[in-house]
Structure 1
Amino acid sequence: MATLTAARYGKDKVRIFRVVRSPKDGEVWNDVVEYNVKALLEGDIATSYTHADNSVVVATDSIKNTCNVFAKTSPHVLHPELFALDIGLHFVKTYPHIHKAFIDIEQLKWSRIVVSKNGNPHKHSFTRDGEEKRLTSVEIDATKGKDAVTAKVTSGLSGLLVLKSSGSAFEGFVRDEWTTLPEVNDRIFSTEVDLSYTFAMPAGPLTAEGIAALQDRVKFDKTAESAKQITLDVFATDESASVQATMFKMSSEIISANPTVETVSYKLPNKHYIPVDLGFKGLANLKPADAEVFAPVAAPSGLITATVSRTH
């Protein structure tokens, strides 16, 4: 005997690029966003699995089309959290048998080009500014009724590569018969930041009219800017005793600076740089005071994670 205990489906890797044209100083200025969208639905869909009943299936192609239409019509398309809320609310409101929608968005980083001869940002020219992505994950819940919809929002960033060539140590760790790693009071600290944070959402049902007000109430964009800057500031300035200690300082400062953030989570893999033995040429390069030439090592790598929560 087999029973279906969970089911969710939708469309992944919906690629969207939107140009928003707006008047500014007598000219037309463009803003651009590029998104990778995943939209999954949950609800009374079990019979599509257990009885080959497609009458309860919103085609994944229709889900893709919905994302593209909202990219054209949503007034919130430049703001990933609001855009995700728009799309998710549409699905649970439009289909009576769909009770939850899960919208994940990766925003690729396009930055406006500053023209060197006048120092001014260009009105319609951009550069792809690294592999960093801004992330948001939204869960829209209509299980208590279409007029009592609630939302959970988790945002963050990934792909942010950082490195400091000094100001990081690792000493005093467990030493036993399994230990070969030497203690070091100064080392390269490099990682690819994977950061997420959850928001405290206002009480009351989510409505299409109320989504716009969330930008000021929950401060999605300001939090994204703050969380990234705090990450960079603490990483650069902390005399790091360990990745763990630095990670906790980052998380604590984000919570302190952003009242609508409830939890902060980091995943920080170590990007190891190993001093190269140049002794065959009589060159000292292995001790911390001498090491200047390193070999980047992709694997294996340490992986440190933590979640820090607001104390109420």
Structure 2
Amino acid sequence: MSSATVTSSEPGVLASAQYGKDLVRVLRVVRDGKFHHVVEYNVCVLLEGDIASSYTQADNSVVVATDSMKNITYYLAKVSPHILHPEHFALHLGTHIVSKYAHIHRAFVDVEQLRWSRIPIASDTVEGQTAPHPHAFWRDGGEKRIVKVEVDASAGKDKLVGRVSAGLVDLLVLKSTGSAFTGFVRDEYTTLTEVDDRIFSTSVDLSYTFAPISLAAPADDKNLAFDVPKELAEGDKGGVWDADKVSERARTATLDIFAKDESASVQATLYKMGQRVIAENAGVQSVSYKLPNKHYVPVDMRYLGVDNLTLAQAEVFVPLTAPSGLIAATIARK
């Protein structure tokens, strides 16, 4: 390939650049005797650094091949003691990359975790009771846990900063009552009728952002060391090092508020969800939700002389996929 050079006649300048490997699919089995753990991840790794010449001068000497990023991801999946914890694994992966390559200053690692749950099986000793199978799993719906990590070495390889957000997507929920929508603006464009009771359904997209953390540079020759505190300090509770519990609490809060709230609107319910996540997790700085309406419209059966439209009689509905409302907000810690 002939080399390209920057000349004064070029009308543009390279303002930013990053590249990497997307959709690296990983299934990891961790064996603890007869009791096995599994995680399945979709991983994306993007890098920033002194790579401009690869764009402007066709200089591949600064390119860490995206295939190498894939191989690093698989290797870390094999050797990292943090593989079962997606936030910590992503921090480990990003820290290794920025520490290994002198010219790479930022690594962005996104992890999407698919939901595998243990199959409950009948107890051999107690009738009517079940227990989780030690090594058999089922795909527990389409919900996914998501993690987005940036490891920033721009201030120096000994001054690493980790920025982490996490959450979940595609958590589909529905309740058949306990939701109203009244008192909204009415003008010449309004055709929507007010309702005191309706089906409320949405696909939850939740993300929360932790306070930035300082990361220790690896002390070993291969830049593979990465330590997570074994005991949480008081200030770490609800933060990055407590990420699994934060994930559990955020999911529980979302489902609990959704189910129990006598919803005046999606907006009002969303706000209560975010407030609870903030209140229960000291290390979370902000919470964002996107809640698309999943509309269910009662079928008009008046042509048959059947009432399926009044609130007390509406029992058969047709799902509508589009268009749909989309309610979004971010709640930040004071």
TM-score of the pair, normalised by structure 1: 0.96
| Equivalent position of 1:150 in the other structure | 161
| Equivalent position of 1:200 in the other structure | 211
> Structure 1, residues 250-273: CA drift from partner, whole Å, max 9, x if none?
000010011111100000000000
Q: Is the CA contact (8 Å cut-off) linking 1:82 and 1:211 kept in structure 2?
A: no
2:322 to 296, 299, 311: 299
- Residue correspondence of structure 1 range 248-263 to structure 2 within 5 A: 248-263=271-286
Cα deviation, residue 205, structure 1: 3.8
Counterpart of 1:20 in structure 2: which amino acid?
Answer: V
Root-mean-square deviation (CA), in Å?
Answer: 1.2
| Equivalent position of 1:277 in the other structure | 300
Q: How many residue pairs align between the two structures?
A: 306
Cα deviation, residue 174, structure 1: 0.3
Give the Cα–Cα distance (whole angstroms) in 2 for the partners of residues 224 and 270 of structure 1: 24
Give the Cα–Cα distance (whole angstroms) in 2 for the partners of residues 82 and 244 of structure 1: 33
> Structure 1, residues 225-245: CA drift from partner, whole Å, max 9, x if none?
000000000000000000000
Secondary structure of the corresponding residue to residue 115 of structure 2: strand
Q: Is the CA contact (8 Å cut-off) linking 2:157 and 2:217 kept in structure 1?
A: no
> Structure 1's 214 and 49: CA in aligned 2 closer, same or farther, altered over 3 A?
farther
| Equivalent position of 1:17 in the other structure | 27
Counterpart of 1:212 in structure 2: which amino acid?
Answer: V
2:260 to 224, 227, 237: 237
Q: Is the CA contact (8 Å cut-off) linking 1:168 and 1:185 kept in structure 2?
A: yes
> Structure 1's 70 and 3: CA in aligned 2 closer, same or farther, altered over 3 A?
same
Q: Is the CA contact (8 Å cut-off) linking 1:151 and 1:206 kept in structure 2?
A: no
Counterpart of 2:149 in structure 1: which amino acid?
Answer: V
Give the Cα–Cα distance (whole angstroms) in 2 for the partners of residues 163 and 261 of structure 1: 27
1:103 to 87, 95, 109: 109
Q: Is the CA contact (8 Å cut-off) linking 2:159 and 2:217 kept in structure 1?
A: no
Give the Cα–Cα distance (whole angstroms) in 1 for the partners of residues 231 and 142 of structure 2: 26
1:5 to 11, 15, 23: 15
Cα deviation, residue 288, structure 1: 1.8
TM-score of the pair, normalised by structure 2: 0.90
Secondary structure of the corresponding residue to residue 198 of structure 1: strand
Q: Is the CA contact (8 Å cut-off) linking 2:17 and 2:48 kept in structure 1?
A: yes
Cα deviation, residue 29, structure 1: 1.2
2:88 to 63, 68, 82: 82
Give the Cα–Cα distance (whole angstroms) in 2 for the partners of residues 215 and 82 of structure 1: 15
| Equivalent position of 1:226 in the other structure | 249
Give the Cα–Cα distance (whole angstroms) in 2 for the partners of residues 246 and 280 of structure 1: 37
Give the Cα–Cα distance (whole angstroms) in 1 for the partners of residues 111 and 216 of structure 2: 19
Give the Cα–Cα distance (whole angstroms) in 2 for the partners of residues 309 and 124 of structure 1: 41
Q: Is the CA contact (8 Å cut-off) linking 1:215 and 1:221 kept in structure 2?
A: no
| Equivalent position of 2:180 in the other structure | 169
> Structure 1, residues 133-190: CA drift from partner, whole Å, max 9, x if none?
0000000100000000101000000010000000000000000000000000000000
Give the Cα–Cα distance (whole angstroms) in 2 for the partners of residues 215 and 32 of structure 1: 24
Q: Is the CA contact (8 Å cut-off) linking 1:164 and 1:189 kept in structure 2?
A: yes
Secondary structure of the corresponding residue to residue 257 of structure 2: helix
Give the Cα–Cα distance (whole angstroms) in 1 for the partners of residues 40 and 181 of structure 2: 40
Cα deviation, residue 122, structure 1: 1.1
Please say if 1:40 is aligned against 2:46. Answer: yes
Shifted more, 212-221 versus 69-78: the winner is: 212-221
Cα deviation, residue 309, structure 1: 0.4
Give aligned-pair identity as a percent: 58
Please say if 1:126 is aligned against 2:137. Answer: yes
Give the Cα–Cα distance (whole angstroms) in 1 for the partners of residues 259 and 205 of structure 2: 17
Give the Cα–Cα distance (whole angstroms) in 2 for the partners of residues 222 and 49 of structure 1: 43
Give the Cα–Cα distance (whole angstroms) in 2 for the partners of residues 274 and 108 of structure 1: 31
| Equivalent position of 2:3 in the other structure | none
Give the Cα–Cα distance (whole angstroms) in 2 for the partners of residues 22 and 127 of structure 1: 19
> Structure 1, residues 91-119: CA drift from partner, whole Å, max 9, x if none?
10000000000000000000011102441
Give the Cα–Cα distance (whole angstroms) in 1 for the partners of residues 121 and 260 of structure 2: 31
Give the Cα–Cα distance (whole angstroms) in 2 for the partners of residues 190 and 245 of structure 1: 15
| Unmatched tracts of structure 2, length 5 or more | 1-10, 125-129, 219-224
> Structure 1's 84 and 215: CA in aligned 2 closer, same or farther, altered over 3 A?
farther
Cα deviation, residue 211, structure 1: 3.8
Give the Cα–Cα distance (whole angstroms) in 1 for the partners of residues 112 and 85 of structure 2: 12
Runs of 4+ with deviation above 2 angstroms: 204-211, 214-218
Counterpart of 1:248 in structure 2: which amino acid?
Answer: Y
Counterpart of 1:98 in structure 2: which amino acid?
Answer: I
Q: Is the CA contact (8 Å cut-off) linking 1:266 and 1:307 kept in structure 2?
A: yes
Give the Cα–Cα distance (whole angstroms) in 1 for the partners of residues 20 and 46 of structure 2: 4
Give the Cα–Cα distance (whole angstroms) in 2 for the partners of residues 19 and 215 of structure 1: 25
